[in-house]
Amino acid sequence: MKTAIATVSISGDLREKLAAIASAGYTGVEIFENDFLAFDGGAREVGRMVRDHGLQISLYQPFRDFEGMPEPQRSRTFDRVERKFDIMADLGTDLMLVCSNVSPVSLGGIDRAAADFRELGERAQQRGLKIGYEALAWGRHVNDHRDAWEVVRRADHPAVGVILDSFHTLARGIDPETIRSIPGDKIAFIQLADAPKIDMDLLYWSRHFRNMPGEGDLDVTAFMRAVMATGYDGVISLEIFNDQFRGASPRSIAVDGYRSLVNLMDRVRRLEPGIAVDLPDLPSRVHVAGVEFVEFAANETEAEELGAMFAAMGFERAGRHVSKDVTLWKQGSINLVVNTEREGFAHAAYLVHGTSVCDIGLKVENAQATLERARALKAEPFEQAAGPGELKIPAIRGVGNGVMHFLDETSELANVWAIEFRPVASEEIPAPGVGLTRIDHVAQTMNYEEMLTWTLFYTSIFDTRRTPMVDIVDPGGLVRSQAIEGADGALRITLNGAENRKTLAGRFMAESFGSSVQHLAFATQDIFATAERLAANGFQPLDISPNYYDDLEARFGLDPEFTDCLRAANILYDRDEAGEYFQLYSPNYGEGFFFEIVERRGGYDGYGASNAPVRIAAQKRSLRPKGLPKP
């Protein structure tokens, strides 16, 4: 598969861009004119630099306002194009992108444009070059790939083809199926971009909000299926204008782009089995059957405090690791692991982040195949020498450089708890459970800028989808929240993007030095019974404002007795057409980490977003430094 990315998609100067693009694994690069103009070396030097990185220049772009010009502009335009041909010769590239004319002086007419392209093709051919014509969605006369193709068809010149850019086609709502009738050898180049559905001016949308295929809402898969059906076998390139990406890490954006291409082409191949896609085989997206364990890194003192909290929540100290300072806590199918080792990954995580979640174990059908797919998608494998009696469990790096392990039922990994842990012979009276059954969701907090990266990470490796983004109002600013979930709800991960340090999420990130799991939500089948047993264990839930309950009763028309039950137990409530949701929160552990207990009734599939501001305000109150008067 020949892949490329336009230099405009990546931040930094041209040197940094090329280094990032090369290391991510692309074969080519589109040189965007501005990147060349801003560079302090000549075209030959740029060409050499690109080739030194093992890359090719797939295309030079854009040449603007070419077709349909009246004289004297027309002659000047042809002079201008010759200058660009000189640059292309020095760069060492043979394809120029001409985008449709936006000039108010330009004249319409398919035949006029076709005649201009025939002449341009003639000139290009004399110099061993080729031309690709792209319809900008806001082009003055040509703004639809069908018209661009008609111009190219009538130009009827071997050096002139059409360039299709998924953004321009899909943003205008043009049916991508119309691409299937274009002969593949008349498609000069393919540019891909996705974008979130936002109702705004096409040009502004295109220049600021594009993102990687799979990160937005456009049907780039349908677009690419149609392209591949034409027999096209040229370069597949990303052209992403995005304000956020312009300031992000060049390497991370380059890797995201590569991941998006592999994921997209893998999808296309599965949907169009009759079409050859030149991509190494990789296992299909992985179904996750649940979160098998969550591991905390801690020191001994904090391990005791954390353990006390687990015990109050009904967890039982169920095992000690055969060779490490690691304790297993269990309730229902929930496994919490506390690692107080003085070396290794968990210790390193503890030193950087303090007591925090350092590892998440996912239950999959085939752990090895999961690792294989993740690697093909450029995830970073994680390995640590196995200690005595330990299994080698496939793993990768995840959010905040944490680790994600994969466990399955078909290998010895199925018996990991029996193999690696010994029951504790303790005098402790086993804690009676409080009815927690499984991990409902894991909430990870990150900088807002990282959200697309991790959304793509989860949705490309695992068989999951993302829910629409919701805004959560924290008194200190906005937090954006998006869930990644499997169709059966067995895996639910919520990603929270903080935009500043004044929000609870932002403060948590500042205090724990990076992105991390901020809360774990456990499921119960009877939240009122669970609340009672928690109270009996001395568990003090997060105190919710009485104002909330008054509003709740009015909003949902609740029976006052029912509202009283909720109020008495500090349980939050939500409801939609499908069902009901109940939430109960623990106090904060440290600087903003917490637990949640939830009950889903009926088909409720959300996360109680409307309750979040009330919960956050309560958490902020409880985090206030002791000694300050309560307002």
Q: Is 452 exposed, middle or buried (0-12, 13-18, 19+ CB in 10 A)?
A: buried
CA angle 360/365/367 to nearest 5° reads 55
Least distance from ligand DHB to the Cβ atom of residue 211, Å: 14
Q: Is residue 134 within the footprint of ligand DHB (CB under 6 A)? A: yes
> In this complex, which beta carbon is closest to ligand DHB, that of residue 206 or of residue 444?
206
Give the one entry of Mg ion, ligand DHB, none that residue 527 binds, where binding means its C-beta sits below a cut-off of 5 to 8 angstroms depending on kind.
Answer: none
Give kind and range of the element (H or E) at residue 205.
helix 202-208
CA–CA distance, 391 with 394 (Å, rounded to integer): 10
Least distance from Mg ion to the Cβ atom of residue 9, Å: 11
Q: Is residue 136 within the footprint of ligand DHB (CB under 6 A)? A: yes
The C-alpha torsion from 518 through 523 and 524 to 530, rounded to 10°, is -10
Least distance from ligand DHB to the Cβ atom of residue 157, Å: 21
Q: Are 32 and 60 in contact (CB under 8 A)?
A: no
Q: Supply the DSSP string of 133-160, one letter for each residue.
A: EE--TT-SS--SHHHHHHHHHHH--TTE
Least distance from ligand DHB to the Cβ atom of residue 595, Å: 47
Q: Supply the DSSP string of 45-56, one letter for each residue.
A: HHHHHHHHTT-E
**If we measure between CA atoms, which residue out of 223, 221, 222, 220 comes closest to residue 210?**
220
CA–CA distance, 121 with 281 (Å, rounded to integer): 39
- Is 141 annotated for ligand binding? no
- Is 321 annotated for ligand binding? no
Map tokens 């009926």 to a residue: 602
- Is 368 annotated for ligand binding? no
Give the one entry of ligand DHB, Mg ion, none that residue 524 binds, where binding means its C-beta sits below a cut-off of 5 to 8 angstroms depending on kind.
Answer: none
Give the one entry of ligand DHB, Mg ion, none that residue 136 binds, where binding means its C-beta sits below a cut-off of 5 to 8 angstroms depending on kind.
Answer: ligand DHB
CA–CA distance, 520 with 598 (Å, rounded to integer): 10
Task: Kindly write out the interface string for residues 550-579 of this chain, putting x where it contacts ligand DHB by CB under 6 A and - elsewhere.
Answer: ------------------------------
Q: Is residue 35 within the footprint of ligand DHB (CB under 6 A)? A: no
Q: What secondary structure letter does DSSP report for 525?
A: S
Q: Which 176-195 residues touch Mg ion, going by CB under 5 A?
A: 191
Q: Which 367-426 residues touch ligand DHB, going by CB under 6 A?
A: none
Least distance from ligand DHB to the Cβ atom of residue 192, Å: 11
> In this complex, which beta carbon is closest to Mg ion, that of residue 239 or of residue 316?
239
Q: Is residue 97 within the footprint of ligand DHB (CB under 6 A)? A: yes
Give the one entry of ligand DHB, Mg ion, none that residue 194 binds, where binding means its C-beta sits below a cut-off of 5 to 8 angstroms depending on kind.
Answer: none
> In this complex, which beta carbon is closest to ligand DHB, that of residue 139 or of residue 250?
139
Report how many residues bind Mg ion under the rule CB under 5 A.
3
Least distance from ligand DHB to the Cβ atom of residue 213, Å: 15
The sign of the dihedral angle between the CA atoms of 551, 554, 556, 562 is: positive
Q: Which 237-266 residues touch Mg ion, going by CB under 5 A?
A: 239
CA–CA distance, 257 with 457 (Å, rounded to integer): 11
Strand 436-447 and strand 516-524: pairing?
antiparallel
Task: Kindly write out the interface string for residues 469-508 of this chain, putting x where it contacts ligand DHB by CB under 6 A and - elsewhere.
Answer: ----------------------------------------
- DSSP E strands, 257-303: 288-297
- Is 239 annotated for ligand binding? yes
Least distance from ligand DHB to the Cβ atom of residue 524, Å: 51
CA–CA distance, 2 with 12 (Å, rounded to integer): 24
Give the one entry of ligand DHB, Mg ion, none that residue 234 binds, where binding means its C-beta sits below a cut-off of 5 to 8 angstroms depending on kind.
Answer: none
Q: Are 571 and 527 in contact (CB under 8 A)?
A: yes
Cβ-closest residue to ligand DHB?
A: 62
Q: Is residue 34 within the footprint of ligand DHB (CB under 6 A)? A: no
Q: Which 132-171 residues touch Mg ion, going by CB under 5 A?
A: 165
- Helix orientation angle between 73-91 and 43-52, rounded to the nearest 10 degrees: 40
The C-alpha torsion from 45 through 46 and 47 to 53, rounded to 10°, is 110
CA–CA distance, 258 with 27 (Å, rounded to integer): 11
- Is 441 annotated for ligand binding? yes
Least distance from Mg ion to the Cβ atom of residue 210, Å: 9
Q: Could you tell me the CA-to-CA distances from 26 to 156, 329, 356, 378 in Å, in that order?
A: 32, 45, 36, 12
- Is 61 annotated for ligand binding? no
Q: What secondary structure letter does DSSP report for 516?
A: E
Q: Which 434-463 residues touch ligand DHB, going by CB under 6 A?
A: none
Q: Are 102 and 64 in contact (CB under 8 A)?
A: yes
Radius of gyration of the chain (CA): 28
Structure-block tokens of residue 437: 């059954």
Task: Kindly write out the interface string for residues 194-233 of this chain, putting x where it contacts Mg ion by CB under 5 A and - elsewhere.
Answer: ----------------------------------------
Q: Which 205-264 residues touch ligand DHB, going by CB under 6 A?
A: 206-207, 239
Which range of residues in 66-74, 208-216, 234-242, 351-359 is near Mg ion by CB under 5 A? 234-242
Give the one entry of ligand DHB, Mg ion, none that residue 207 binds, where binding means its C-beta sits below a cut-off of 5 to 8 angstroms depending on kind.
Answer: ligand DHB
> In this complex, which beta carbon is closest to Mg ion, that of residue 152 or of residue 288?
152
Least distance from Mg ion to the Cβ atom of residue 10, Å: 16
Structure-block tokens of residue 528: 């009122």
CA–CA distance, 333 with 412 (Å, rounded to integer): 19
Least distance from ligand DHB to the Cβ atom of residue 545, Å: 49
> In this complex, which beta carbon is closest to Mg ion, that of residue 135 or of residue 439?
135
Considering only 12, 62, 314, 402, the residue that binds ligand DHB (CB under 6 A) is 62
- Is 168 annotated for ligand binding? no
CA angle 252/257/262 to nearest 5° reads 125
Where does this chain bind ligand DHB (CB under 6 A)? 61-62, 97, 99, 134, 136, 165, 191, 206-207, 239
Where does this chain bind Mg ion (CB under 5 A)? 165, 191, 239
Q: What are the binding residues?
A: 134, 165, 191, 239, 441, 519, 596
